[in-house]
Structures are given as structure tokens and as C-alpha cells.
Amino acid sequence: MPAPLPPDLAAALERLYAAMDADYAAVASACGFACRGCEETCCRSRFEHRTWIEFLYLRQALAGLPGDRRDALRARAREVLAARRRDAAASPACPLLEADRCLLYAARPMICRLHGVPHRFTLPDGTPREGPGCAAFHRRVPGPCGERLDRTPHYTALARLEAECRRRLGIPQGLRRSIAAMLAAEAV
């Protein structure tokens, strides 16, 4: 397991998360969308997170919880992973979801922050991509919304932070884990 996340990298990630949250809020507001109370929550989607910096930041937040709370979350994470092993199509909720709220909301990874509203981004080769937003967005927003969240600057900034994190901590390979796998596999 890599060393803890250096404080300056954690602070840089916090600033990036604040920028993501502000851009998301601006698009959601312009479209008249509020993300809450959704039965098809993105917290039931199977996202795989790809950055060590976000994993270490989430792990740091998890370490701040009381021991019994961490143990309960790890047990819940193991249940989610077992459900997915039994049925590849299973979509159990993220182990951090409790009473329709994320228990580590302030430390949630990028995709959890940016999912839901229409977006665009540009691939490194210059190819543009767009996404329509989630099903709840389209049910709640009558008619078209011309606003789109530009994810490109956030992806670029996160890639730079990830490269710096891996360089400084000597991490040779990337990461590909769900939040459930992150919580279940790591002792804090």
C-alpha cells in the first residue's frame, strides 16, 4: 500500500473538487436541475475509479471515522462485492450510501461529483465527446438545456495531480477499483 497522500496534494485535490462542484452547480442551476431523492441514483451505478490520488484521499476520510463505523462500512463493501460476484448484473448501492446520503460526501471521487448533468469533454487526441446526463435529469428538466458541463479542464487537472501523486509515492501502475473494492481491500 502506498504512503499516505502528501498534504499539499490533498489540498490541490480539494481545490480541484471545489472547482468541479462549482461548475456542476452552475450547469445544474442553469438547467433547473437538483440532484436528490433519485431511485436510480448514480450511487447504484457501477463506476470504477481510476486514480490513486482519489483513492488515498477517500482512504484518509475513511480513517477519520470511528473504528466501528469503518468496520461497518467495510462489511457493507464486502456484501456489495459478493452480490456482484453472484450476479454480474447486480447493482447494489455504493456502501457509502446511507439514508440517501453519502457518508463521505466531501471526499467523494470525481465521477460522483460530475455525473448527472449533460457534459462534454475533449480526448487527448482532440476528439470531442458529449454525454446527455442521467435519466433523472431528463425526467426533471422539461425540454432541452443548452448548458453542458465541460469536464475537460477537470480531467486534465486530475490527470496532472495523479501523475504527480504516482511519481512522488513511487506507484508504477494505475488503479481500477470501485468504491466497494477500495473500502473492502484496505485496512486503515
49-61: pLDDT as tens digits: 889 999 999 999 9
Residues of the domain holding 156: 7-182
Q: Using CA atoms, how far apart are residues 168 and 165, in angstroms rounded to an integer?
A: 5
Task: For residue 187, tell me if it sits in a domain.
Answer: no
- Chain centroid to CA 168: 23
Domain assignment of residue 188, yes or no: no
Q: For residue 143, what pLDDT is reported?
A: 80
pLDDT tens string 122-141: 999 999 999 998 888 988 89
Query: Is residue 69 one of the residues assigned to a domain?
Result: yes
Query: Which residue, 113, 139, 136, 155, is CA-closest to 18?
Result: 113
Q: Cell 450511487 identifies what position? A: 43
Rounded CA-CA distance 6/144 in Å is 43
What is the average pLDDT score of the chain?
90
Number of domains forming the structure of the chain: 1
Give the residues across from 149 on adjacent strands: 119
CA 134 to chain centre: 15
> Do the domain assignments include residue 1?
no
User: Band of the pLDDT at 62, cuts 50, 70, 90?
Assistant: very high
Do 70 and 188 contact (CB within 8 A), yes or no?
yes
Q: Is residue 48 part of a domain?
A: yes
Task: Say what the pLDDT of residue 188 is.
Answer: 42
Q: Does residue 161 surpass a pLDDT of 90?
A: yes
pLDDT band at 37 (very low <50, low <70, confident <90, very high): low
Is pLDDT of 84 > 80? Answer: yes
Q: What is the DSSP string of the chain?
A: -PPPPPHHHHHHHHHHHHHHHHHHHHHHHHHT----S-TT-GGGS---B--HHHHHHHHHHHHTS-HHHHHHHHHHHHHHHHHHHH-TT--PPPTTEETTEETTGGG--HHHHHTTS-EEEE-TTS-EEEE---HHHHHHS-S-----EE-HHHHHHHHHHHHHHHHHHT--S---B-HHHHHHH---
CB 42 within 8 A of CB 179: no
Asked if residue 162 belongs to a domain, the reply is yes
pLDDT the model gives residue 186: 55
> Any idea what the Cα angle at residue 75 is, between residues 116 and 73, rounded to 5°?
50
Taking only the tens place, the pLDDT of each residue in 87-123 is 888 878 889 988 888 899 999 999 889 999 999 999 9
Q: Is residue 20 part of a domain?
A: yes
* In-domain check, residue 27: yes
pLDDT for 39 equals 64
